[in-house]
Amino acid sequence: MEGADLNLACAWALVDGLVGGGLRHACVSPGSRSTPLALALSRHPDVEVHVHLDERSSAFFAVGLARASRQPVAIACTSGTAAAEFLPAMVEASQSRVPLVALTADRPPRLRGTGANQTIQQIGLYGAYARETLDLPVPEAAGQEAWWRQAAREALEAQRTDVLGPVHINCPFEEPLSPSAGVELPSTMHEALDLPVAPSADLTPEETDRLATMVSGARGAVVVGGWPGDLTNEAMFWAQTMSWPVIAEPVSNARVPDASLLAGQSLLGSRAWVEAHRPDVVIQFGAAPTTRATQSFVASAERSIVADRWHLDSDPEHLASWRIAVDPGAVSGALRDRPVEQGGVGVAVAGPRSTDEVDELWARRLLPPPQDWLPAWRDGDRRARAALDDFLDGIGEPFEPRVARDVAASIPDGGTLVVGNSTPIRDLDLTMAPRDGLRVMANRGASGIDGLVSTSLGVAAVAPGPTVALLGDLSFLHDVGALAWASHQGTDLCIVVIANGGGELFSQLPQRDLPEHRDLFVTPHGADIGALSRAAGANHLRIERAADLVPSLLSAFGAGLQVIEVAVDAAEALVLRAHSRRAVEAGLRDAPDAPR
């Protein structure tokens, strides 16, 4: 077998092995040294290849694909700095538990450290952010295909046995790289790999007793952060069965009716409200809370429990009374399955529980919170929601929190919202009303603004319904190059860009008092978003009245790549934010038990 044909045979074995582990999509950027990888991916009948000019955009597109499909996605590139372009997306994938497989072509090891063209040290390039790094042998003899196939298994096993994340397979090739004309590839050999799955951790009987003691009869609350799966059932259990208020972030996908509060961030943002309704216990699921108000609320409880095994550290300040490395379902499951004979003195029935749930609580001797605990939260929640909506509805000009609310409410059932970092995700957390049928995603692992357009395009490529991205203008401009490559791909995506002239999040932080505030932090750009969008081949519409956003958004669905620019007066928006907080405070002061 000729060297080039052997290169392709080994690359084929690697790709076929990855397909056996569930890989169905690959993002490829052009290059010479990666020819065997590109051909193997392109010629495999079970892989859909997405070609991208820029490796950084390609990798973030793959993050979106993997988030939406919940399956491993390959990214492939040539040697040298092309591999370095993957680093930001590898970091995000590691931090947010996204299964990427980086396939980096390389020069043979004999050229490393010699100054050879397009040769860098690629082993260890992604450091601790890769779950596993494999440096494959240069294809030199028939039979080595088995080594490359085994590498696929090893990489996928490393990805599955602890928590999801990216892996790196470095693939060195000698020249020649282009195979013989008409070379025959083996038939696909892959079988579904019997890969190990990290076992779900359960509470021990002793931990279950401790948990029951902490929650029984307590004035408790639950905070639900970002999570790779669906936490709706858990939110329902704590809200309806345990009669605890649930504050669910949009990216938890548990902000649904009858479970999550309507205006949790407005309540937590009121110091007077929190002081008057301080919980005995707060249980936090998923990633660390996004907002400082939620972080302070968790810290304000007499006792706090952090239950999560997926994130690097969901208690970064180490304030929790108890940290449990379990999935959220293990906590409610432990209470449901607790033996009848254990502990407790009986239970009083209160709140909207079904007969089965009441029986369950009786059997496990779990006391509910005081009878006025949840009703007080729900009454305040209704008042805060009404005050917030009344204020937002009365604003004629575009205002970031209203934009976030209206976008989230307008996406049809089955749709997906990709939300940017900095201000957009916080405004969504503040104003999004609970609803069914919407999936919310964000790159909250490292919380950067890079690659957000590319990630949104990747989500849109496989998401079943309409996909909308809600981004700030700096995030949009940071990745605007992705538009040019995507405009001819037929992707159906609507990008709502909040055009407020730069990084206005810093106008809400202490940096606002620095004399260099605008130049170094806000960084006003002066870019013509419409001209850039049109030059990239995307349709563009500029919105200058708040009431025009929803009709424009609804007409954009199914119309290809759309950019809706929403013009926001940044200075006026800061004033409106202060007014909105006062409006909510006034609504809460009208509550019967409100502090005066």
pLDDT of 517 reads 59
Q: What is the dihedral of CA 326, 331, 337, 342, to 10 degrees?
A: 110
pLDDT of 340 reads 56
Query: Residue 475: which H helix or E strand, with range?
Result: helix 473-478
CA 225 distance to own-chain centroid: 10
Least confident interval from 9-23, 85-99, 180-194, 435-449: 180-194
Do the Cβ atoms of 65 and 23 come closer than 8 Å? no
pTM: 0.91
Do the Cβ atoms of 328 and 350 come closer than 8 Å? no
Most confident of 199-203, 225-229, 289-293: 289-293
pLDDT of 350 reads 43
* For residue 152, pLDDT beyond 50: yes
Which residues are bridge partners to 281 per DSSP? 220, 303
Band of pLDDT at residue 596, cut at 50, 70 and 90: very low
Mean pLDDT on 69-87:
96
Nearest in space to 563 (alpha carbons), one of 486, 475, 466, 497: 497
pLDDT of 363 reads 47
Report the chain's terminal Cα–Cα distance, integer Å.
Answer: 85
Least confident interval from 84-93, 283-292, 385-394, 419-428: 283-292
Band of pLDDT at residue 348, cut at 50, 70 and 90: very low
**Paired tokens of 514:** 């620095």
What domains are there in the chain, each with its CATH number? Answer: 3-172 (3.40.50.970), 205-380 (3.40.50.1220), 398-568 (3.40.50.970)
Cα(449)–Cα(446) distance, integer angstroms: 9
* For residue 117, pLDDT beyond 70: yes
User: Helices 87-96 and 55-69: crossing angle, nearest 10°?
Assistant: 20
pLDDT of 220 reads 96
| 151 vs 518, residue with greater confidence | 151
* For residue 349, pLDDT beyond 50: no
| pLDDT tens digits, 221-238 | 999 998 777 788 889 999
Band of pLDDT at residue 166, cut at 50, 70 and 90: very high
Band of pLDDT at residue 345, cut at 50, 70 and 90: very low
Is the torsion defined by CA of 287, 325, 437, 415 positive or negative?
positive
| pLDDT tens digits, 81-109 | 999 999 999 999 999 999 999 999 999 98
**Residue with the two structure tokens 């491993």:** 72
pLDDT of 181 reads 80
